[in-house]
Amino acid sequence: MKKIGVLTSGGDSPGMNACLRAVVRTAVHHNIEVLGFLRGYEGVIDNKYNILTTTSVSGIIQRGGTILKTARSERFRTDEGVKTAAKNLKELKLDGLVIIGGDGSFRGAIELSKHYNIPIVGCAGTIDNDLVGTDFTIGYDTAINTVVEALDKIRDTAESHDRVFVIEVMGRDAGLIALRSAIASGAEGLLVPELKRDVNSLLDKIKNWRTSKSSKIVVVAEGDESGGAYKVADLIKANCPEFDIRVTVLGHIQRGGNPTCMERVNASLLGYNAVTALLGGHKNEMIGIIDKKIIYTPFEKAVKHIEELNPDLVKMMEVLSS
């Protein structure tokens, strides 16, 4: 193996730089040249890349975002875009490609490999943690810590005013950010897409609130069927007009910031193992970590939607927040 490519794709996530650094330095260790494509698949279509060396990735392990930049490439969703990307990769004579991204990026990798049979491996990079075949995706740990810090601050003001806060967190189709941050911040309510009919149970719970704690926090995942924090706040207001309610949508603050220690180590492990996986003949697989072990999951399986949250955590949340 002489030359590989690497790119970051989809929504950025803290730890992508740490992963990239590990990919580059592991490849250099094995005398492999690394081409870093800019702006995800856009860079492959436009043949825009930089040759990455050990020094190109110096001083980035602690930085959020991605130095390669990223994109949700619309052109790569077209047949023409994928064909152009495949042609460019062939002409560059790459022996392998590392994709750092989420489900959309891995679906793109599946399409790409239909046109050019280059070995591709993926490092799970998304704050949503919604990929099958890994306990944690790159960015998730940092994102939940960012959310918890925000919720702690909101608790101070909520408690001072005896208010109810409805907080919307990211998670387009998944409630994993919402669940862990709700548990860690002692939130009273949780609304996530994986648990159906939960608005009704939240309203039941609210009726008992009147006699207990003076501040309440309800965490809503953006993908929940309730339609988001403002709609939930309206619903609570309609049922309990006496509550003083405020809404905070945390938004993209969840995607930025310095990665946590755990993030940096896990992202490095994924990047390091991506290169050794290519050397070992793996292809079309995502590298993940389950129970501290490196696991390889075919892209087709990795992108399957996670339908269920950990039932033990859900039950514990119910008990502890009652």
CB closer to ligand F6P out of 104 and 119: 104
How many other C-beta atoms lie within 10 A of the C-beta of residue 16?
32
- Given 81, 102, 125, 288, the residue binding ligand F6P (CB under 6 A): 102
User: Where does this chain touch ligand F6P (CB under 6 A) — which range of 35-43, 93-101, 165-173, 293-301?
Assistant: 165-173
Closest approach, Cβ 56 to ligand F6P, in A, equals 26
169, β-bridge pairs: 221
Cα gap 301→289, rounded to integer Å:
15
Interaction of residue 128 with ligand F6P, rule CB under 6 A: yes
Which span (166-174, 192-200, 225-233, 303-311) binds ligand F6P, by CB under 6 A?
166-174
Answer for the pair 98, 5: CB distance below 8 angstroms, yes or no: yes
Assess whether 46 carries a catalytic annotation. Answer: no
CB of 254 to ligand F6P, least distance (A): 7
Contacts to ligand F6P from residues 56-75, by CB under 6 A = 72
| Coil, helix or strand at residue 312 | helix
- Helix, strand or coil for residue 166? strand
Minimum distance between the CB of residue 16 and ligand F6P, rounded to whole angstroms? 12
Is residue 11 at the binding interface for ligand F6P, with CB under 6 A as the rule? Answer: yes
Tell me, what DSSP letter sits at residue 127? T
CA distance 135 to 92: 35
Amino acid at 260: T
Sign for the pseudo-dihedral over CA of 166, 172, 173, 177: negative
| Contacting residues toward ligand F6P, per CB under 6 A | 11, 72, 102, 126-128, 170-172, 222, 255
